[in-house]
Amino acid sequence: MRKTLVLLVIGVLILPLGLRAIPVKAAAEPDILITWKPLVYTPPGFEGRILPVANARIVASVTVVDNGRVADLSGQTIYWYLNDEFIEGTANKRTVEFRAPAEPNSRMDLRVEIPTYGNSGGILKTVEIPLLQPVVVIDAPFQKKMVSGESFQVHALPYFFNVSRLSYLKFSWSADGKSATNDDPTRLVVHIVPGTSSGYQTQLSLSALNPFGQDTFEGADDSTVLTFVQ
C-alpha cells in the first residue's frame, strides 16, 4: 500500500513536467502563390520561360494554400497593385490583366492583398517581375557555322514582341553590308557566287521591328558570320 502511494505521488509530480515539455505547434502561415504570363510572341515549340517586355499585356492569378489545401476565396475581396499603384480590386478577383510599364530593362513589383482572409488582419504577397527587351535570333543551324553548296538559308526567330502573329513584325536582312530581300521576310536565302574561295566569310545581319509598338521603340537586332567551305 505504501509503495503504491509513493508511485502515485511520483506520477502526479512528473505528469505536469511532461505536459510542459510538449511544444505547442504554431499554425502554419498561408502560402500565397502568384502566377503570371505575358501575352507576347514566341516561336512555336518554345519551352522556356516567357518573359514580359515594356507595354506587354500580362495575366496574373493568385492561389492561397492553407494547411496543405487550396483555400476557397469565394466572397473574398482581392486587391491588385503594380508598383504600389492600384490596378483593380473586387470580390473573387483571383485573376487580373494589366500592361507592363513602358520602361524596358527595368522591373515591376506586383502585389496582391486579401484584407479579410484569416484571423490575423489579412494576407498579402509581392513578386518581382523583370522587364526585358524583345530579342531576335538568326537561326543558322550549321555545324561550326560552315556552309557549302550553291546556296543556303537562315531563319528569323523573334521572341517577346508585343504581337500575336509573326506576320505583324517587319524584318530587314543584309548580307555583307548589302540589303537582301526574299519573298518570305522571315527567312533569307543566300546564293554563293561561283568561284568563291573556300574560307570566305559572309556576315549576315537581321533587324526585327514591331511597327505597331506603343510609346517606346520595340525592335531587336542580331548578326552572325558564316564560313564557306568547298
pLDDT tens-place string over residues 71-127: 999 999 999 999 999 999 999 999 999 999 988 778 899 999 999 998 778 999 999
Grade residue 212 by pLDDT with cuts at 50, 70 and 90: confident
Nearest to 86 by CA among 66, 63, 62, 110: 110
User: Residue length, the chain?
Assistant: 230
Class of domain 31-131: mainly beta
Q: What is the pLDDT of residue 129?
A: 95
For residue 214, pLDDT beyond 80: no
Q: Residue 213 in contact with residue 55, Cβ under 8 Å? A: yes
Does 135-228 carry CATH code 3.40.50.150?
A: no
Grade residue 12 by pLDDT with cuts at 50, 70 and 90: very low
The contacts of residue 173 (CB under 8 Å, 6+ apart) are 179, 180, 181, 182, 185, 188, 204, 205, 206
Average pLDDT (49-76) is 94
Look at 192 and 1; give whichever has higher pLDDT: 192
Grade residue 15 by pLDDT with cuts at 50, 70 and 90: very low
- Residues spanned by CATH 2.60.40.10 within the chain? 31-131, 135-228
β-pairing verdict for 146-147 and 219-228 = parallel
Q: What is the pLDDT of residue 121?
A: 82
Instruction: Look over the chain and give the mean of its residue pLDDT values, rounded to a whole number.
Output: 87
Q: What is the pLDDT of residue 122?
A: 92
Residue type, position 214, single letter: Q
Percent of the chain having pLDDT more than 70?
88
pLDDT tens digits for range 160-185: 999 999 999 999 999 999 998 888 99
Q: What is the pLDDT of residue 14?
A: 39
State how far the Cα of 134 lies from the Cα of 209, in Å rounded to an integer.
9
H-assigned helices in the chain: 2-21
CB atoms within 10 A of CB 33: 13
State how far the Cα of 140 lies from the Cα of 224, in Å rounded to an integer.
8
pTM higher than 0.85: no
For residue 230, pLDDT beyond 90: no
User: Phi, psi at residue 95, to the nearest 5°?
Assistant: -125, 140
Q: What is the pLDDT of residue 26?
A: 52
